[in-house]
Structure 1
Amino acid sequence: MLRLLFYLSAVITLPGVAAVRTDSSSVFNISSCPIMFYGQKYEEVYVNLTSENIVICFNGFYSPQSRGDCLLGPKVEKAYFEVHERSSLLEERVHENVRDIKTSMNCYVYFELWREESVAQLSITSFERQAALKLNLFLSDTVDVDVLVDNNSVDALTVTNPSDYVYNVAYTDISGCRDSGLAYKAGTVVNSVPETCLSFICSETAVLQNSTCGPLERCQGNGSCFLDAICTVTGPTVIDFFGHLDFVKDRCVYSLLNIPSVSDFQVLAKFQERRRKDVSFLDSVTLEVNGTHIHLKQGGIVLVEDTPLNLNSSAQVVHGLQLSKDQTGVTAMLQIDDLKITIFFDGYTGQILVEGPAGPSLQGLCQNSSEPRLPEYSSTSCETQYNDTEDHFINCTKITERCNLLKEAPFTSCPIDPEPYITACTDTLCKYPAVDGLKCQFLEAYVKACSLFSNTTLEDWRSKAECPSPEAFCQEMTCSDHEFCGEKNDCEETRCFCRPIFASKYRERNTLGDPTVCRRNTASLTLAGCLLEDKGIDYTFLHLNDPTCRGQMNERTHMVTFCFRSKRCGTEVSVNNSRIIYKNTITNKNSFSDMIVRQNQVKIEFSCYLNQPGIKSMALRYKDVMMPESHSSSTPSLQHSTRLKQS
């Protein structure tokens, strides 16, 4: 006893309500600091001091036959009870030692337990829906506290001080949940149905919740969830993994998919305008793997960096990707650990299917429609917005009826929600003409998504929707960056068209190409191949005054350049005062046989001059005249001239 009295000064006395002593049975009101004990809220404590134990119960005095919620402690001579407000120091200690408690402390109930040779302190801390015990001991002794729920032991605290100079502490979480009369600790499974992956859990914050597979997952029937999600990008629209629809309104490059835990892998999408300046379309898909860029382009063209890759229906492994191609488009497959990624692109629609164990986080436009564009891959002007004239020939009512076919059989057998596809279809086709296969593009995208996601085949949908057999548009046709491939007539023939933003600078000047370039003794004129085709002109029929001098088309840009040196290619040389003028003409005269052809006659004059006696200055002018044939007098003529001067 002298040893105990000597150490009384070590007992921490905390400010609060005056301590109440008990050495028998007592009831204490704790409504000012209610305790959540395994999911049950209590506002009273019942204290029994028996010949063997002290028992602190929450639902009545302890009896071995009762279903008590209690704390069963050692034999004590007396006990002191207090209720205290929040202690920042105690709160900090609980946060450090009880993993699942992260909220702020409200208050705590304090018991001081006096034994023959030691003193123990028991604190019951309240954290809203959670609670924790702290047990500490003064002087050498061992103290055990058993945690009982319905008179069943669910936890225990033990503190042992091997000497009078050691001060040990123990903590435990008494938060939890109850179901069907049973108690469950926070973070444990209460019940589960493996066939549906439905589980009832006691959450880490001691709330009873049900849990099932996430929105991107499917149940395997054995209690495990499987990541299974598809993203569709078609036209200006993105239908992400969650089925949310968004529209891309610029001509930038975006990340469709990347996995933070996997370095050197990314799927990129580039958007470009086609027939209208104010509507952007998915133009190409790039797979970035281990620093190598594999470009999937329109027409089934695949480039590894800038090198074309020949593919067929047999998979070819390229930088870890399995690449194959058939008449419908290009498919790329990649296995990352247990995660399987399938990418499909037909030149107009891109789709990404992700399959594998649940867990890895995904990023990109397919995961979050607010993902930013990638400026390092985009042009500086890609965000510029344009307006275009409204197309009054579009019948939006009929378009809506057609898009709503997705609500009817056989499309109804697909497990994918058709609504975002219907909205994408109507919103796009109510402002953009249904050409270049766009009439069936959104239906085709939905059918392909069904096939990839659920292996569902929709029978006879093409006859119902009047869509042609599956074949990627513009197969093997290569267009330049300022062109796109589209239909040139109702016979489904295709060609490369100028993108309207590129063509606008020429159409505003009523020209077919760039100004003449004059050098020391040469002149050249470059025309846009797609602008020539717009006017029904086949560049292969064009030549200079000398029919053997023909234009050369750049295979990458599809720009056609005509060039002549002085006194060659039928160049006409004349002198006007101090100038020597060199003139030639681009024409298709004499390029036709006697058969009837549907070609406009062309005459484009361009010239350069030199000042005498030396080259003091250079100037140029060219005159472009489109001369219609007699049977096509309605063909408009273009007349324009440009005069440049350079020293």
Structure 2
Amino acid sequence: MLGFVLYLAACGLLTGSEAMYQTFTSPGEVNISSCPITYFGQRYEKVFVSLKANTFAFCFTDAFSPGSSNNCILMSGGPADRGELEVFSRVIPFGSGVHKLLPDLESVGECVNVIALKDNKEAEIQQVELGNFGSQAILGIKTFTGYPNSAVDAVSQVNGQTVSSETFQTAETINGVITDISGCRLSGVVYKTNTTDVPNTCSTVVCGPSGVARVVSKCGPMQRCQGGRCVQSSTCTVAASAVIDFSGRVHTVPDRCGYTLLSPGSIPGLKVHGLFKERRRADVSFLDRVVLKLDKGSVEVVLEQGRVKLNGKVLELNATAQEFSGVELSKDQMGATAKVSSSSHAVTVFFDGDKALIQITGPKGTVQGLCGDNSGDFSGEKASEYSSSGCEVQHTDPADTNVDCGAATKWCNLLKQAPFSACNVHIDPEPFITACNKTLCEYPAVDGLKCKSLETYAMLCGRTGNVTLEDWRKKTGCSAQPSCQDKVCSDHEFCGELHIGGRPRCLCRAIFASKYRSENSYGEPTVCEHKSATVKLASCLLAEHGIDSSVLHLNDQTCRGEKDEETHMVKFHFDNRNTCGTVVQANDSRVIYKNTIMTQNVSTHGSIYRHDHMHVDFSCYYNQPDVKSMAVKLKHSAVDQHITSGAWSYNLTMKGYIDPQLSTPIESSTGIDLDERIWVELKTEGLDENLVHVVTQSCWATEQPSPDGTLRYNLIVNGCPNPADDTVRVENNGKTTHNQFSFNSFQFSGSTGDVYLHCKVQLCVKEGNNCEPTCHRSGRWRRSIMSGSNDENPALISMAWTS
């Protein structure tokens, strides 16, 4: 070893001048900000000097204290109790003798801190020099005649732990010696500038001159480390739309179709498919479920969010693996696992609703699918039987202003920092950083998505690298999220958070919800049929507005929605048997049945409530029938008239009989004599008798098919018998959905042709007995309020007879 500063001066290399001069006593704090030192990857601008008879300590974080987690250089000492600092700048050009002595130095020396240590008589005992070589540093030691020991011990400590220890004889130090104090720090471990083998990890740590350490694995892309040696084993990771294959390549699924992830030649007949769907955005897909298909026995295992199906049947599983049709299945709070084995290989699939880890073990063999030996050709890997029609259609959603790609990149790069860096030797973080950036630069950081990106890597470290990343959640602020494992959503839903930090619930997928959001609707239109009204609302649409479907009811609070366990659509219903408080109204054109879906008036939580109020009206109606005529000769068979209008339909018929029991209808062969008694029934089918009645408003006869014939004879006027004809009788008019009248047959004077009968019929909303005409001797029909019934739009039905 040659001298340091003295050697440089003698060789004419000490070209700078003192930039700073400072004196101190023990213990003393020395300012080296004009020539800072990078000590094992960390930069320092102060040195705390402690001078004792047996030990000189030069510390960088605090004053020396035995046993503390300090960063110090400790040397055997002498009688020095004071000192002075001189700084020399720009003194060591590249290629000088120092670089020849310390070939690992790869930077130009910028400056040197020269610390002279003296006793109380100002006699120099020892000289310590700290040289700045950029991200590296050197230590120089020189002793003088007052130094009492035969050797100098120099110990470098980081966080209180010894990194290196060297001993120099005074025969060397009297001329000056130098040594390298450069190094790196990685996951709490300190490395010297060099390449260091890490025991039992199949890897080395390379500490470069920049002070940054990197881990280099000795295993190939299809291998993992086991017991310090590389063995064949691979894991394919699928998260959001990213597929990280066995070789570490990243593929992005472009749509919402099903794809073959794995088809191993080592287990014939096995295929693993991934089905992708959208969530909040239509243009970003996420892995929705995983399917294992085995040709042998036609077995299909579906791993879904919160449940596992075998050939369409939901299984009850726990953490203990059970075998079903050659597949080992288990499920816990983390997710579901399926395993298929052969004599030499095993495929294990884990799925938790967000990510899938697909591991294959055994001798190397051919592997097809997006996880294996493919070229990234998605068209060739599409699983048509698991791809819905139109799944390949590309959508473009408006940019989300909440997406911060710069912040996302910074976040994803945490995978290269402690504590994740402890796993970098086992699993290359770059593909996971790429996948993380891809997702978070296109999709808002909701539903715990940021932390799930880190969780995927952490879980893979534990499963395939056997590395536990301690406190990674605490260090990143990623608290454990409420689990979706017990939340089963429908096909048009996904499990997410309505608000950040909220409990998980089933939310609407973007494409499903778009048609309803554009119409500001909660669900499907009202279905009116068979005297009933039905409305189906999507519970996920209600959830978006903070509405719990379980608190909704109709006008009658006992009438609540029925939730379909599979689709999660909530059905509200009323009919003529259970009106659920339906309000019936009428106007000039319609009879309307209206009900309301609403929230409870009384909170179930006392003086507060946590859901929005809701008030949604829905209705069905009968149109008041149009005026229509149909002439039928009475001597022929009776004719039905079918009137369909509005959302509900009903039949209106008029039939003639020759007996009061209405058992013998008038047929085409029936002869009708003059003054013979005829009974006529007006009857409807399809009306709700509890709420609507039928009123025969008027009936008359003409000699022509038209109701406006020249000759006219009235039988019923204003709902009452014609007072001028005492043969006319009217029964049940306005009392129900049918009525009848009778009269004696006749013929028009001067005519021998057919006689045509016409009637006008009116629907009436029943309110008490308001639909029944009150007939006085004058024949007038007196009514109270008829709820919209009027004389302008009655139904006209006609028939004819030949005397």
What TM-score range do you get, normalising by the shorter chain? 0.5 to 0.7
Q: Distance in 1 between matches of 2:418 and 2:431?
A: 17
Q: Distance in 1 between matches of 2:552 and 2:400?
A: 35
Equivalence for 1:65: none
Contact 2:267 2:341 in 1 (8 A): no
Q: Which amino acid aligns with 2:533?
A: A
- Aligned CA RMSD, in angstroms, stands at 2.5
For residues 346-495 of structure 1, the aligned pairs below 5 Å read 346-358=352-364, 360-367=365-372, 368=374, 369-371=376-378, 372-414=381-423, 415-469=426-480, 473-495=483-505
For residues 48-447 of structure 1, the aligned pairs below 5 Å read 215-217=221-223, 226-260=231-265, 262-289=267-294, 290=296, 291-299=298-306, 301-358=307-364, 360-367=365-372, 368=374, 369-371=376-378, 372-414=381-423, 415-447=426-458
Q: Residues 213 and 460 from structure 1, CA distance in 2 versus in 1: closer, same or farther, beyond 3 angstroms? A: closer
Contact 1:437 1:473 in 2 (8 A): no
Q: Residues 379 and 559 from structure 1, CA distance in 2 versus in 1: closer, same or farther, beyond 3 angstroms? A: same
Contact 1:282 1:349 in 2 (8 A): yes
TM-score (norm 2): 0.48
Q: Which amino acid aligns with 2:308?
A: V
Q: Which amino acid aligns with 1:253?
A: G
Residues 31-55 of structure 1 deviation map (CA, whole Å, 9 limit, x = unaligned): xxxxxxxxxxxxxxxxxxxxxxxxx
Residues 406-439 of structure 1 deviation map (CA, whole Å, 9 limit, x = unaligned): 1112322321111110111112112211121211
Residues 463-503 of structure 1 deviation map (CA, whole Å, 9 limit, x = unaligned): 2222224x783121011000001012344411110001100
Residues 81-110 of structure 1 deviation map (CA, whole Å, 9 limit, x = unaligned): xxxxxxxxxxxxxxxxxxxxxxxxxxxxxx
For the residue of structure 1 that corresponds to 2:514, the secondary structure is helix
Q: Which amino acid aligns with 1:603?
A: H
Q: Distance in 1 between matches of 2:469 and 2:227?
A: 26
Aligned length: 406
For the residue of structure 2 that corresponds to 1:601, the secondary structure is coil
Q: Residues 548 and 218 from structure 1, CA distance in 2 versus in 1: closer, same or farther, beyond 3 angstroms? A: closer
Q: Aligned match of 1:598 in 596, 599, 610?
A: 610
Name the % identity.
50
Q: Residues 578 and 409 from structure 1, CA distance in 2 versus in 1: closer, same or farther, beyond 3 angstroms? A: closer
Q: Which amino acid aligns with 2:587?
A: N
Residues 585-605 of structure 1 deviation map (CA, whole Å, 9 limit, x = unaligned): 212253536622233332211
Q: CA deviation at 1:214?
A: 6.8
Contact 1:566 1:582 in 2 (8 A): no
Q: Distance in 1 between matches of 2:274 and 2:428?
A: 24
Q: Residues 328 and 599 from structure 1, CA distance in 2 versus in 1: closer, same or farther, beyond 3 angstroms? A: closer
Q: Which amino acid aligns with 2:258?
A: V
Structure 1 unaligned residues grouped into runs of 5+: 1-195, 197-211, 621-647
Q: Residues 578 and 424 from structure 1, CA distance in 2 versus in 1: closer, same or farther, beyond 3 angstroms? A: closer
Contact 2:594 2:617 in 1 (8 A): yes
Residues 265-324 of structure 1 deviation map (CA, whole Å, 9 limit, x = unaligned): 11111111111111101111111233222111123x212233222222211112222222
Residues 567-612 of structure 1 deviation map (CA, whole Å, 9 limit, x = unaligned): 7111222333464322222122535366222333322111112245
Q: Residues 533 and 472 from structure 1, CA distance in 2 versus in 1: closer, same or farther, beyond 3 angstroms? A: closer
Q: Distance in 2 between matches of 1:355 and 1:573?
A: 70
Q: Aligned match of 1:538 in 537, 540, 548?
A: 548
Between 493-502 and 337-346, the greater mean CA deviation after superposition? 337-346
Q: Which amino acid aligns with 2:404?
A: N
Q: Distance in 2 between matches of 1:261 and 1:412?
A: 34
Q: Distance in 1 between matches of 2:553 and 2:387?
A: 38
Contact 1:529 1:560 in 2 (8 A): yes
Between 582-591 and 281-290, the greater mean CA deviation after superposition? 582-591
Equivalence for 1:67: none
Q: Residues 432 and 240 from structure 1, CA distance in 2 versus in 1: closer, same or farther, beyond 3 angstroms? A: same
Equivalence for 2:16: none
Q: Which amino acid aligns with 1:283?
A: D
Equivalence for 1:15: none
Q: Residues 575 and 410 from structure 1, CA distance in 2 versus in 1: closer, same or farther, beyond 3 angstroms? A: closer
Q: Which amino acid aligns with 1:258?
A: S
Between 515-524 and 597-606, the greater mean CA deviation after superposition? 597-606
Contact 1:328 1:472 in 2 (8 A): no
For the residue of structure 2 that corresponds to 1:510, the secondary structure is coil
Q: Distance in 2 between matches of 1:335 and 1:602?
A: 54
Q: Which has the larger radius of gyration?
A: 2
Contact 1:220 1:226 in 2 (8 A): yes
Q: Residues 590 and 217 from structure 1, CA distance in 2 versus in 1: closer, same or farther, beyond 3 angstroms? A: closer
Between 432-441 and 474-483, the greater mean CA deviation after superposition? 432-441
Q: CA deviation at 1:215?
A: 4.2
Equivalence for 1:563: 573
Contact 1:516 1:523 in 2 (8 A): yes
For the residue of structure 1 that corresponds to 2:369, the secondary structure is coil
Q: Distance in 1 between matches of 2:464 and 2:228?
A: 20
Q: CA deviation at 1:221?
A: 10
Q: Distance in 2 between matches of 1:346 and 1:455?
A: 20
Equivalence for 2:584: 573
Residues 352-395 of structure 1 deviation map (CA, whole Å, 9 limit, x = unaligned): 1111022x311111012324211221111111111112122222
Residues 442-472 of structure 1 deviation map (CA, whole Å, 9 limit, x = unaligned): 2111122222223222233222222224x78
Q: Distance in 1 between matches of 2:313 and 2:341?
A: 24
The yes-or-no answer on 1:617 pairing with 2:645 is: yes
Residues 220-246 of structure 1 deviation map (CA, whole Å, 9 limit, x = unaligned): 9999x9531110000110100000011
Q: Which amino acid aligns with 1:395?
A: D
Q: Distance in 1 between matches of 2:443 and 2:302?
A: 27
Equivalence for 2:512: 502
Q: Distance in 2 between matches of 1:433 and 1:566?
A: 49
Q: Distance in 2 between matches of 1:563 and 1:508?
A: 25
Q: Distance in 2 between matches of 1:592 and 1:463?
A: 38
Q: Which amino acid aligns with 1:265?
A: L
For the residue of structure 2 that corresponds to 1:456, the secondary structure is coil
Q: Residues 615 and 578 from structure 1, CA distance in 2 versus in 1: closer, same or farther, beyond 3 angstroms? A: farther
Residues 620-644 of structure 1 deviation map (CA, whole Å, 9 limit, x = unaligned): 8xxxxxxxxxxxxxxxxxxxxxxxx
Residues 495-549 of structure 1 deviation map (CA, whole Å, 9 limit, x = unaligned): 1100011000011111111111111311111111111111121211211111111
Q: Which amino acid aligns with 1:306?
A: G
Q: Distance in 1 between matches of 2:502 and 2:580?
A: 39
Q: Distance in 2 between matches of 1:355 and 1:311?
A: 25
Q: Distance in 1 between matches of 2:360 and 2:286?
A: 23
Equivalence for 2:726: none
Q: Which amino acid aligns with 2:394?
A: Q
Q: Distance in 2 between matches of 1:355 and 1:458?
A: 24
Q: Distance in 1 between matches of 2:550 and 2:300?
A: 35
Q: Residues 492 and 461 from structure 1, CA distance in 2 versus in 1: closer, same or farther, beyond 3 angstroms? A: same
Q: Distance in 2 between matches of 1:496 and 1:326?
A: 20
For the residue of structure 2 that corresponds to 1:450, the secondary structure is helix
Q: Distance in 1 between matches of 2:611 and 2:237?
A: 42
Q: Distance in 2 between matches of 1:601 and 1:569?
A: 20
